[in-house]
Amino acid sequence: MAVRKGKGQPGRKPAPASSPSLSFPSSLPENEIENGIREAFLRAGWYPIKTEAGMVARRQKHGHLPAGFPDLTVFRRLPGTPLCLAALIEVKTETGTLEPSQVERHAELVTYGLSPRIIRDAGAAAALIAEGNRVAALLRGQR
């Protein structure tokens, strides 16, 4: 199945869902760390979406995401079902801290049983990819 090219789509067929070998310096600025994380999830067969909630909150873009919503949402397909796994990712530098709106939004998401992850480096991204693969394998075994 080929992936259609279009707005918001990576334009390439995802690689098999395995844990990629990741490495990017932790001294990078946040946007470059985010690009590395997005690329890692793409290579592992996930579909990453940049939410741009901060730009919406600052009225630099139109949208409906609330202030403080995590930077990325990544999706992993579950073969044999129309459902998917999803993860909410807040990207921060090694020393970056959450803004008050992010603290508030993450707390709200937790009340819904969601668990936004703060990712600062390649190791944390690889760990989340591996956890998604583990959960997908468990679900495959239950069918």
Q: How does pLDDT run across 20-45, given as a tens digit for each residue?
A: 455 556 578 888 999 999 999 999 99
Which residues is 75 bridged to in the sheet? 47, 86
Q: What does the alpha-carbon distance between residue 137 and residue 131 come to, in Å, rounded to a whole number?
A: 10
Give the model confidence (pLDDT) of 84-125 as tens digits: 999 999 999 999 999 999 999 999 999 999 999 999 988 999
What is the pTM assigned to this prediction? Answer: 0.76
Under the banding of pLDDT at 50, 70 and 90, the label for residue 74 is: very high
CA dihedral 128, 131, 136, 137 (to 10 degrees): 140
Q: What is the pLDDT of residue 23?
A: 56
Q: What is the pLDDT of residue 37?
A: 94
Q: What does the alpha-carbon distance between residue 52 and residue 20 come to, in Å, rounded to a whole number?
A: 25
Average pLDDT over residues 71-93: 94
Which residues is 91 bridged to in the sheet? 119
Q: What is the mean pLDDT of the chain?
A: 81
The SS3 assignment for 52 reads coil
